[in-house]
Structure 1
Amino acid sequence: MTSSSSSPTLRTDEPTFAESARLQARLHDLVPGGAHTYARGSDQYPEYMTPVLEHGRGARVWDVDGNEYVEYGMGLRAVTLGHGYAPVSEAVRAVLDRGMSFSRPTRLEVDAAEDFLSLVSGADMVKFAKNGSDATTAALKLARAATGRDMVAVADQPFFSTDDWFMGTTPMSAGVPETVRTATVGFAYNDLASLQALFDAHPGRLAAVFLEAATTLQDPAPGFLEGVRELCTAHGTVLVFDEMITGFRWSAHGAQAVYGVTPDLSTWGKAMGNGFPVSALAGRRDLMELGGLRTDAERVFLLSTTHGPETVGLTAFRAVVEAYRRDDPVATMRRQGTKLAEACNEVVAAAGLDEFVDVVGHPACLVFRTRDADGRASQAMRTIFLAELLRRGVLGQSFVVSAAHTDADVEHTVAAVAGALPTYEKALTDGPEAVLEGRPVAPTLRATSAPRRLR
């Protein structure tokens, strides 16, 4: 699914961001935070380089100032086939004139559910929604209803939900009642003893255990997932795998298929629709039916959403499934990601900077790490690196690839990394303030707007 088509010409002039700056300022007047997702916020980019995008095609995007970029991150990992991927777009166009939302289920809902369950062998039933948080919170509600318990254990992984049960564990916990915060407890991924300690400390209280089976930087240690499964079974606790990132990146069947451990429930989203909004909760029939009509137990109000079954999202999902059956986007992402990481690390090593910059992680979900002269992770150095990439036509807070990233896109990116290194080295030698324009980027989840409060 890749080609050798030409990539944007590596810039030698300084890009301008005047129109982007104007629109970003207007967004701050109209939208809290200036973006509808915190990870897309202006505080995540160099202060005077916050591109506002116009359109995209394949692995490239164009901003309102006419700058062209090879893009990474791909819709916060939601796009695996490329922007404007024709088979998905054409399928959606074909369904538009047939209506989008009705007062009864459609045949499409049957077809989409059968497609989904044909991929996820450990699940008996599925319910569709629009946002990943809808699915994860519904999973927790089912677990609490099934067990009669209130607490939930979550792995020390970045993100599970915008809802109170998870946000109360983060620095952005304002507005979350203390009683909600204390019902969520944490354990360390790949540390089975830390999870056992929670079961010991809260006997008969844990309704669910939530984790990603694998992450960008961590694969499960031998026996870890199996041990989690055994603990949950022994204690009557519901095991939930969050497949938002791993689903359709690690495998179309999810990380649960890669590692051979079946959860009780799993939650899906992001790449399911190649950018179109669709998510899913799937799992064992006895749990899922608590939200259905085949139960004598008290019913669970489960994912009753107006837009969950609308035809565009489900049509996009079915077209994505077809693309994965026809081609092998997972293999393409793995190949291109491997190529990108190896080539970037080679040019960094050649410049003698491999102690300070590297590209690591799962090939389909790479990140770059930036360290200061003392070898510590540095937001200032990250900002300098981001700015130098932007100047050379590469946009991304990470190097998350899609199957649309061509060899030419990879070569362009490697050249941009090589071009960024002299400035990076100057910052190591003279200090970041010698080259940094504006304030450094800030952590997404933090307690206050500082250090990037709007002036």
Structure 2
Amino acid sequence: MGTNLPRSTEANERLHRVIPGGAHTYAKGSDQYPEGMAPVISHGRGGHVWDVDGNEYVEYGAGLRAVSLGHAHPRVVEAVRGELEKGSNFIRPSIIEAEAAERFLENVPTADMVKFTKNGSDATTAAVRLARAATGRNLVAKCADHAFFSTDDWFIGTTPMNAGIPDETTEAVVSFPYGDLKAAEELLQRHDGEIACMILEAAAAVEPPPGYLQGLRELTTRHGVVLIFDEMITGFRWSAHGAQGLYGVTPDLSTFGKALGNGFAVSALAGKRELMELGGLRTDRERVFLLSTTHGAETHSLAAAMAVMDVYREEDVIGRLHALGDRLATGVREVAAGIGVGDHVVVRGRASNLVFGTLDEQGRPSQPYRTLFLRELIGGGVLGPSFVVSAALTEADIDKTIDVVAQACTVYRKALDANDPVPWMGGRPVQPVFRKHA
């Protein structure tokens, strides 16, 4: 395939000229890719995408994990097309809003009510606001080991990109480590009567230690704290019923998104009726302005969500994601070990949600080595900042990826032997999203 992307280079310049950062999501920015190797996408189908230069790629992490069934899935496209001619937004709720909510609650039976919106940040912030209103408390406890919860001030103010956010906003946020029940208990005791909610992903790069989620459930109940599971990723990758269904622990509130619409904009806040009704019309308590979005219930996005849930119910999507991920993880580990970089190119996470790590000579995470690795992947026709699979990938796609990884590992070994990845980087290193200066 090569590394010459003239049309993508031109398109990136156009993007940066009219869009701050050159993308509408920081994680899609050109700074996340090697210099001169940030393809601009023309179209996608199934598990593949094509750039504006005409190059075809096996794609991972599609739509930042949003497209779990593959691009332009026929069932989803058909459902969306069927709604488009009926109109997409009215002065009163459409009947599809009730149908989609009922379908969602059948799929996630641990919740009593659901409210749809367009993105995950709105849903998680609504959960935090609801918890504060229900408890009359101000502090939010967030898991320190989980990368992202919201674009809103309460979370972004805790990252290095906190410009424009008042200190008092983030002074109301405290953190706790994942998997350490004693640390959670100490935090709740230290701020007894002050914490409104604890928010975390039920699982991420590592599985929850035995008894951890159950222990959190007991602790938060005892201290009157609202337990929130961010299921944006786990919701349709760990199980079709969410991580809460898989692990058998019911939070008070939970948020879903990403794969819920297979790329269409729909997310959800779900939870216990007594909490959710605070944002409704059937409560005697002070009302909460929960979620009120002009486009929150666009009919075609809700149709997409129902189609996705139908596919999950009728097909073993979760099983396929895990089978593909297992094949990929095993193959990558084998070739990395065979080439002598098994301690440097590492694969982590659940099979349905794999990420890779690139470690330097001392075993430390390295952006220069990540740059080298991504450069070789893209040049070999594999695009993705992770190894997160979609169900549309084939065994042949996985095998091709393993072959490309083997080529990348050969270059990686040369860089390790030289104690210098720079000659193979092709320019500046890729950057972390959260950083103080561009």
Could you state the TM-score of these two structures normalised by the residue count of structure 1?
Answer: 0.95
Rounded Cα–Cα distance in structure 2 between residues aligned with 1:66 and 1:428: 33
- Is this contact kept in 1: 2:3–2:37, CA < 8 A? no
1:369 aligns with 2:357: yes
Rounded Cα–Cα distance in structure 2 between residues aligned with 1:71 and 1:37: 18
1:159-308 to 2 correspondences below 5 Å: 159-215=148-204, 217-308=205-296
The SS at the match of 1:210 is: strand
Equivalent of residue 441 in structure 1, options 422, 427, 430: 430
- Is this contact kept in 1: 2:340–2:413, CA < 8 A? no
1:138 aligns with 2:95: no
| 1:6 corresponds to | none
Rounded Cα–Cα distance in structure 2 between residues aligned with 1:280 and 1:45: 31
| 2:115 corresponds to | 127
The SS at the match of 1:404 is: coil
- Is this contact kept in 2: 1:265–1:281, CA < 8 A? yes
Moved more, 169-178 or 193-202: 193-202
Gaps of 5+ in 1: 1-10, 450-455
- Is this contact kept in 1: 2:65–2:258, CA < 8 A? yes
Measured after TM superposition, the shift of residue 200 of structure 1 is 2.0
Measured after TM superposition, the shift of residue 226 of structure 1 is 0.9
Rounded Cα–Cα distance in structure 2 between residues aligned with 1:81 and 1:130: 19
Which runs of 4 or more aligned residues in structure 1 lie more than 4 Å from their structure 2 counterparts after TM superposition? none
- Is this contact kept in 2: 1:127–1:281, CA < 8 A? yes
Q: Cα deviations across residues 401-446 of structure 1 (Å, max 9, x unaligned)?
A: 0111101100110110111122111111221122221111111111
Measured after TM superposition, the shift of residue 265 of structure 1 is 0.3
Rounded Cα–Cα distance in structure 2 between residues aligned with 1:198 and 1:393: 47
Q: Cα deviations across residues 97-148 of structure 1 (Å, max 9, x unaligned)?
A: 0000001111101110100000111111000000001100100111011000
| 1:403 corresponds to | 391
1:107-126 to 2 correspondences below 5 Å: 107-126=95-114
The SS at the match of 1:349 is: helix
- Is this contact kept in 2: 1:15–1:67, CA < 8 A? no
Gaps of 5+ in 2: none
Rounded Cα–Cα distance in structure 1 between residues aligned with 2:364 and 2:121: 33
Measured after TM superposition, the shift of residue 310 of structure 1 is 1.0
| 1:336 corresponds to | 324
Equivalent of residue 432 in structure 1, options 413, 416, 421: 421
Measured after TM superposition, the shift of residue 273 of structure 1 is 0.3
1:20-35 to 2 correspondences below 5 Å: 20-35=8-23
| 1:77 corresponds to | 65
Letter in 1 for 2:318: V
Rounded Cα–Cα distance in structure 1 between residues aligned with 2:227 and 2:260: 22
| 2:342 corresponds to | 354
Letter in 2 for 1:240: I
Equivalent of residue 333 in structure 2, options 323, 345, 349: 345
Rounded Cα–Cα distance in structure 2 between residues aligned with 1:247 and 1:436: 36
| 1:59 corresponds to | 47
- Is this contact kept in 2: 1:372–1:381, CA < 8 A? yes
| 1:323 corresponds to | 311
Moved more, 80-89 or 428-437: 428-437
- Is this contact kept in 1: 2:61–2:386, CA < 8 A? yes
Moved more, 47-56 or 356-365: 356-365
Rounded Cα–Cα distance in structure 1 between residues aligned with 2:4 and 2:43: 17
Letter in 2 for 1:146: A
Pairs aligned (count)? 436
| 2:377 corresponds to | 389
The SS at the match of 1:135 is: helix
Equivalent of residue 407 in structure 2, options 419, 422, 427: 419
Rounded Cα–Cα distance in structure 1 between residues aligned with 2:182 and 2:56: 49
Measured after TM superposition, the shift of residue 15 of structure 1 is 3.7
